[in-house]
Amino acid sequence: MSNRHTTKALRSAAAVALTATMAIAVTGCGGDSGGSKSDKDSSKESAAPQGDGNKPVAQSTAAIGEMKGADGIVVTLNSAVRDDGGFLTVNGTVTNRGSKVFNAFAWRSKETEMRSQSSISGASLVDAAGKKRYLILRDTDGECLCSTGLYGIKPNESRPIFAQFPAPPQSVTQVDFQLPSMPTVNIKISG
């Protein structure tokens, strides 16, 4: 019972941290756009250097890690950021470079209670030096704090993915990101 309350508290803290981060990011965008751009466009441009006419000069597409799996499936990880609430959020993209439709059924955890059968709930972070494995956090309903609905990904289609983990100690700056059926990749933690 106390684990359920702890999970609920962790989820609430994650939501507060994410809301605060989003508010800061939106506030930082500022400018006289008059609200004509979508939130998606604003968030993409917020980190990009501004050139003439407030248009982005270049946007970083640097990857911190990439995994290439069977049938042309590529997972590109773009960030692993510590949040103030003691969480680590990994963001990236799954791209189908193959010729068949892809469903992420192999990436789910082995838990039978999970509603989404096409998620990255089976992902984990491994601190090899500290000999510790971090699993994706769960909400109060037992669902993962990660991307779900990863089915029907057509050839040449990309979808964003994320996964939220308990943050390793501050002294840990690199971890191995593992996803079932994909090769392991070492990634650097920021923040």
**Res 112 pLDDT > 60:** no
What global pTM score does this model have? 0.66
Predicted local confidence at residue 38, as pLDDT: 35
Is residue 92 within 8 Å of 160, Cβ to Cβ?
yes
Is residue 178 within 8 Å of 184, Cβ to Cβ?
yes
Q: Which residue carries 């838990």 as its tokens?
A: 111
- Looking at per-residue pLDDT, the higher value among 44 and 106 belongs to 106
What number of CA atoms fall less than 13 Å from residue 136's CA on the CB side? Answer: 30
Return d(Cα 5, Cα 2) in angstroms, integer: 5
Per-state percent for the chain, helix, strand, coil, to nearest 5: 25, 30, 45
Interval 34-56: pLDDT, tens = 443 333 333 333 333 333 333 33
Report percent pLDDT > 90 for the chain.
Answer: 50
pLDDT band at 84 (very low <50, low <70, confident <90, very high): confident
